[in-house]
Amino acid sequence: MITSPDNDNNNEGPMVFIIIGKGYETDGGEGVDLHIMLKAADDDSAVREALNALSEEGFIEADLDQIGMLTDVPEEEPHASAYKGAVEGEVAIIRFS
């Protein structure tokens, strides 16, 4: 996995992205609101890795609405734990009911 940016970003910390969207576990079923946090070299890699992780978790489709890079460490759960996991190389998926 590439961990250094392939552009002119000179971010001092890890490049941790958050992707906001909705995942579907059944065809025509109701979607689940999601926040996905992961470390990636760029936004294209982040989206690709997020979709792979969602597929591994049983999602058959996903609508990814927003992507951004976190500039501060979240303090509140569940995002604080997800951020820590992302920094360690995990793809953290937060599901909202």
Token pair listed for 12: 């001092």
pLDDT value of position 12:
64
Do 65 and 29 meet the contact criterion of CB atoms below 8 Å apart?
no
In this prediction, residues 42-60 reach a mean pLDDT of 97
Q: What's residue 1's pLDDT?
A: 46
Q: What is the per-residue pLDDT across 27-39, written as a single tens digit (0 to 9) for each?
A: 988 999 999 999 9
What's the whole-model pTM score? 0.85
Question: What pLDDT, on the 0 to 100 scale, is given for residue 20?
Answer: 98
The predicted pLDDT at position 92 comes to 98
Compute how many other C-beta atoms are within 10 angstroms of the C-beta atom of residue 83: 21
**What is the reported pLDDT for 97?**
78
Q: Please identify which residue in the block is written with the tokens 């793809």.
A: 91
What does residue 46 show for φ and ψ, rounded to 5 degrees? -60, -45
Exposure string of 24-61, with b = 16+ CB inside 10 Å and e = fewer, is: beeeeeeebebbbbbbbbbeebbbebbbebbeeeebeb
Residue 60 main-chain phi, psi, to 5 deg: -100, -15
pLDDT category, 25, cuts 50, 70, 90? Answer: very high
